[in-house]
Amino acid sequence: MNFKKIIVITMSIIMGVYGMNAQTSKDTKTLVLYFSRTDENYAVGNIKEGNTAIIAKMIAAKTGADMFEIVPAKAYPAKYKPCIDQAMSEKRANARPAYKGDIDTAQYDTVYIGYPIWWGDLPMVVYTFLDKHDLNGKTIVPFCTHEGSGVSGTDGAFRSKYPKAAVKTPLAIRGATAQNNRKGAEKLVDGWIK
């Protein structure tokens, strides 16, 4: 084997290894999963992007995570009053409303889960997702938006559903802060992620 051949082979091996590394580092092991609703919101008016969606996108941008949005198969009413009424009936019935599509969560080590507080609880469609996925053994990082209730103990839902998951301290942000004070919201997200 001449010297030129040795150089070419060595270079190919080095490039191959670098190529593989580049591919590996792109594969994220973190998922940001969220549910969020647009349209009429009593605190921030008619919104085109949900409050929780804003925070979910911030977290994904900062962590380089994949995202999955839980989109209900049947959209919630755009008007506020019918929406809260429907949410209350679903909660009373312990309903499991369907959502569109799905994601294989097996490949993720860390799952951020974001949701608005609905009647002091997770929206029922989030429970539908949880019922379909075993997140035991993973790190779960809850975050929510609300208008006064805070986390409302919703992190407890993940602890009881997945006793073998490590559930981190949740982040609770006012919906109005997420919607109207992005810089303020980002500060809260930064402080919490650290």
Ligand X SMILES: Cc1cc2nc3c(=O)[nH]c(=O)nc-3n(C[C@H](O)[C@H](O)[C@H](O)COP(=O)(O)O)c2cc1C
Residues at the site binding ligand X, with contacts judged by CB under 6 A: 36-37, 41, 43, 50-53, 83-84, 87, 116-120, 145-149, 175
- In the bound state with ligand X, the residue whose beta carbon lies nearer, of 111 and 117, is 117
In whole angstroms, the minimum distance from the beta carbon of 184 to ligand X comes to 14
The nearest distance, CB 91 to ligand X, in angstroms, is 9
* Nearest-approach distance from CB 163 to ligand X, in angstroms: 26
Coil, helix or strand at residue 167: strand
* Residue whose Cβ sits closest to ligand X: 175
The half-sphere exposure of 125 on its side-chain side, counting CA atoms within 13 A, is 26
How near is the Cβ of 136 to ligand X at its closest, in Å?
A: 27
Residue (117 or 126) nearer to ligand X, CB: 117
CB 157 within 8 A of CB 128: no
C-beta closer to ligand X: residue 128 or 145 = 145
Expressed in angstroms, the distance from the first to the final Cα of the chain is 54
DSSP string covering 97-163, please?
A: --BS----GGG-SEEEEEEE-BTTB--HHHHHHHHH---TTSEEEEEEEESSSTTTTTHHHHHHH-T
Q: Cβ closer to ligand X: 63 or 149?
A: 149
